[in-house]
Amino acid sequence: MKAHFSKAGFILAAAGSAIGLGNIWKFPYITGVYGGGAFVLAYIVAVLFIGIPLLIGEMAIGAIGKKDPVGSFESLAKKAAGVWKNVGFSMLTGLVILSFYSIVIGWILYYLFLSLSTLPQTVEEAKTVFETMLALDIKTQILFHTLSMVITVFIVYLGVDKGIEKTNLILLPILFVILLFLFFYSMSFDSFSLAVGFMFVPDFSLLTPKALLVAVGHAFFTLSLGMATMLTYASYTDKNTNYVKSAIIVSLMEIGVAIFVGITLFAFLFNFGFESNQGPGLVFVSMPSLFYNFGMFGNILAVLFFIALAFASITSAISILEPTTAYIMAEKKWSRKKSVAVFGALVWGVGILLLLSNTKEYSATFTFFSKGLFDWFDFVSSAILLILGGIFTALFLGFGADKNNLKMHMTHFMSDFAFEAWYFGVKYCIPPVLIALMIYMISE
């Protein structure tokens, strides 16, 4: 029998995939860089009007096709199945993402370890710690990147129910408890209302086209769209699992967590007079130096914070490795063990090149057109590959798949009217918006 999620297991696993570094690391810092309220609004609109319809579509393909990514696209195509099945190869974006995602998980695991001892006393000191690790400490980065890949590979090796479902079942509730605790704690600061204002009062003059693009790109990244991850997870459901409802629940959870985490971090930051626009170092520089102000309790806060980051990111990392694993097992009859070992080793090896591109010694070797390899991988995957995956998935749903077949299955979980509205949006509205976005991004 094919591996299988329970109903709750599926929602948890999909939420675990969505809620990750995107929420706790990336969303707060891009919100800070792009000016707060208006950006948050753009992100919410992108999730609601592009994210949710595409997530429903991806889940439908998996839940109806019940196969690996390539097999599911092939079995739903009304004709030219051999051409459409190639959309399944959007799963390869996962390998690109995982190779830098794992390095960031490595930093988190290292910081978890650092949080147990002394915290940096000032921002300057915190900056030195981060930059020294990044530019000089190759061994530490390789060590923790390796640890991150070993954990990810091991969980995926254990399989869909004993590995992926169980991990989410344990880690996600702990993650939520920690985030809620930090949120309630941040409510005691005077800066709390300032943080709420920053997140919710929009200043539309800050909403440049670039900010809009970043918001849409982030909606893709954070909902794990455009690389067949949610499709693969949905292929492990039984026929009674309501994936339409699941997609909506997961998206709302995703928005909720992003906003709660955003308010929490900004309340902490503003409380100590930090600026909001500090970029990627927000989590690794500002937060540790701010925790120092709490004395011993600061170490506890720091440990909890990095545990939350580690749990959120591990449940996402496993979802990134699963689609290619499912594909090679189904289509090439590899064992799960061999599949995860080969892909894990590949991602690990590429990851090392990426981390070298951030170091002083090797950055020149791995810099192309004035961007390091690490930044290239991040940029190409979230700005181009995920969106391309989204465009082809939408085109497949609108033009490649048999509408009657989709309708017959999907109207179990939605009304005829809702189906038609969804179908129209995915076929005629989403592809042009995404194509315009791509053209703008490339011409930027």
- What minimum distance in Å lies between the beta carbon of 381 and ligand PFF? 8
257 touches ligand PFF by CB under 6 A = no
Q: Does residue 21 interact with ligand PFF by CB under 6 A?
A: yes
Task: Name the pairing type of β-strands 367-368 and 371-372.
Answer: antiparallel
Buried b / exposed e over 187-217, threshold 16 CB at 10 Å, is eebebbeebbebbeebeeeebeeebbbbbbb
Q: What angle do CA 379, 19, 169 make, to 5 degrees?
A: 140
- Which parts of 296-335 interact with ligand PFF (CB under 6 A)? 316, 319-320
Which of 9, 16, 22, 71 binds ligand PFF (CB under 6 A)? It is 22
Closer CB to ligand PFF, 219 or 426, in the complex: 219
94 forms part of the interface with ligand PFF (CB under 6 A): yes
- Using the minimum distance from each CB to ligand PFF, give the nearer residue, 20 or 400: 20
Dihedral sign (CA 25, 31, 37, 42): negative
Q: Which stretch binds ligand PFF (CB under 6 A): 20-28, 51-59, 66-74, 189-197?
A: 20-28
Provide the 3-class DSSP secondary structure of residue 116. Answer: coil
Q: Using the rule CB under 6 A, which residue among 15, 18, 215, 267 binds ligand PFF?
A: 18
Whose Cβ is closer to ligand PFF: residue 276's or residue 382's? 382
Q: What is the DSSP letter of 198?
A: H
d(CA 22, CA 29): 10
Residue with Cβ nearer ligand PFF (152 or 224):
224
Query: Which lies closer to ligand PFF via its Cβ, residue 97 or residue 108?
Result: 97
CA atoms within 13 A on the CB side of 234: 27
Site string for ligand PFF, 212-231 (x = CB under 6 A): ---------xx-x--x-x--
Asked if 357 interacts with ligand PFF (CB under 6 A), we say: no
**Count of residues touching ligand PFF (by CB under 6 A):** 16
Rounded Cα gap, residues 363 and 355, in angstroms: 9
* Residues composing the chain: 444
101-135 burial: b if 16+ Cβ within 10 Å, else e: bbbbbbbbbbbbebbeeebbeebebbbebbbebbe
Candidates 17-25, 238-246, 293-301, 338-346; binding stretch for ligand PFF (CB under 6 A): 17-25
CB neighbours (10 Å) of residue 161?
Answer: 16
Of the pair 94, 390, the CB lying nearest ligand PFF is at: 94
Backbone angles phi, psi at 12, to 5 degrees: -65, -45
Comparison of 236 and 270: residue with beta carbon closer to ligand PFF: 236
Binding residues (CB under 6 A) for ligand PFF: these are 17-18, 20-23, 94, 97, 221-222, 224, 227, 229, 316, 319-320
